[in-house]
Structure 1
Amino acid sequence: MAGRPKIFDEREAIQNATEIFRNKGYDTASAEELLNAMGIGKGSFYLAFKGGKQELYLRSIKQFAEEFNKKIAFAFENSDDHIQLIRQLFISLAYADECDVEKGCYLGNALVQLSEKDKDIKKVTAGLLKNLQKIFAEAIRKAKANNQLTTKDDPEVLAWHLTNLWNGIHVTRRMDNSPEILKTMIEMNLRVLE
């Protein structure tokens, strides 16, 4: 017996749950809030997410990471000036009002909040950071080849610096969300891309 078929769009349900997790955090998001946002009942929930709230959260992070990676990769594929794109990406983090897929802060928050508690969350968030580093490294290599950068620093090391900056901004935003302080800090760190 195969069981009852799903009568809901799983991706959409996960996306709706992501909004609750982003706004409330993993620990304070209640089952009732998640089910209401997803538009499903308990039976359907546990049929689709046998690991309960933790499985939903992990799948939410994975889905968010896929969207984030696609958007970042697409932006770089369609840009003639990768260094300017990197600058815009980081400066936009200073002024971001909300945590959205372009900024990736949901993933940064997951890394800070739960990665040491859960090896699967750590694996997903670490994978995101490694993918981001690869995108940055390729962008820097292309910029150097096109004489858009004069730095002699290794593109891999510069890319890890940027990845560390991206991650650090999400931590710093939790302490002080002053756009001007963040912008100044970001500009200082981006001087390596000259």
Structure 2
Amino acid sequence: MAGRPKIFDENQAIEKATEVFRNKGYNTASADELLNAMGIGKGSFYLAFKGGKQELYVKSIEQFSEGFYKKLAEGIEKSENGIEFIRQFFLSQAYSPDCEKERGCYLGNSLVQLSEKDAEIKKTSIKIIKKLQQLFAEVIEKAQKNDQIKSTENPKILAWHLTNLWNGIHVTRRMESSPEILKSIIELNLKLLD
């Protein structure tokens, strides 16, 4: 039938749109670029994303963060030592691929670039960052109870420190290209978990 919307996998389409947003940024990603990447027409797009580009972007952030969070949480759960897993997670940030250095953190970028312009994006970004902070806090609290770390600082404050480090390292590595220097910065920050 003419005019009938094309059936497509929404999660896969959002994943493809995410790459466009990551490479171009929200403001410069055009509707044509998004539609081409997603492999859908305008009719299908507006049936699936009634809020247009903004709704697609929010869903993109949510889907991206759910995948990131799930991978991190599962890694922590499967590890013998959650604190050591977190240490290695942060240290690996010093050696991320060059394209990540240029593009930065997708979630961090959404919070910095658009959260003050768009209340929905700000709400979504804050929810995601707080969820990450809560995960860190749970691991720290458990490690304190099991005497895996000496610090008696409030687990929530230590978790905010890690969340701040996670956001900050993505900004710093855009300016500093030496993995050794980035590793040293991260190691210094992680001393709070000794």
1:164 aligns with 2:164: yes
- Map 1:173-188; keep pairs closer than 5 Å: 173-188=173-188
Whether 2:12 is the aligned partner of 1:9: answer no
Whether 1:135 and 2:135 are equivalent positions in the alignment is: yes
Alpha-carbon distance between aligned partners in 1 of 2:9 and 2:185, rounded to the nearest angstrom: 42
**In 2, distance between residues paired with 1:4 and 1:134?**
44
Q: CA deviation at 1:6?
A: 5.2
What is the Cα-based RMSD across aligned positions, in Å? Answer: 1.7
CA-CA distance at 1:4 after TM superposition: 4.6
> Which amino acid in 1 is paired with 2:14?
I
Q: Is the 8 A contact 1:151 1:192 kept in 2?
A: yes
Is 2:5–2:44's contact at 8 Å kept on the other side of the alignment? no
Deviation at 1:160, TM superposition (A): 0.9
The alpha carbon displacement at 1:36 in A equals 0.9
Cα distance in 2 between the residues matched to 1:139 and 1:192:
14
Residue 39 of structure 2 aligns with which residue?
A: 39
User: Could you tell me how far apart the structure 2 residues matched to 1:151 and 1:5 are?
Assistant: 57
Matched letter for residue 129 of structure 2: L
Q: What amino acid is the match of 1:46?
A: Y
2: distance between equivalents of 1:125 and 1:179? 28
The structural deviation recorded for 1:52 is 1.4
1:22 aligned residue:
22
TM-score normalized by structure 2?
0.90
Question: Structure 2: which 5+ runs fail to align?
Answer: none
Q: What percentage of aligned pairs have identical amino acids? A: 66
Cα contact 1:14–1:38 (8 A) shared by 2 = yes
The residue type paired with residue 36 of structure 2 is N
How far off is 1:178 after superposition? 3.4
The residue aligned with 1:114 is 114
**Which sections of structure 1, spanning at least 5 residues, go unmatched?**
none
Contact 1:108 1:167 in 2 (8 A): yes
Aligned positions, number: 188
- The 1:141–1:191 alpha-carbon spacing in structure 2 relative to 1, beyond 3 Å, is same
- Cα deviation digits, residues 95-147 of structure 1 (max 9, x gap): 11144xxxx92111111111111111111111111111111111111112222
Aligned mates of 1:116, 1:178 — CA distance in 2: 32
Measured in 2, the distance between the counterparts of 1:96 and 1:78 equals 23
Q: Distance in 2 between matches of 1:157 and 1:50?
A: 39
CA distance in 2, matches of 1:133, 1:179: 25
Work out whether residues 112 and 171 of structure 1, in 8 Å CA contact, stay in contact via their aligned partners in 2: no
What is residue 89 of structure 1 aligned with on the other side?
89
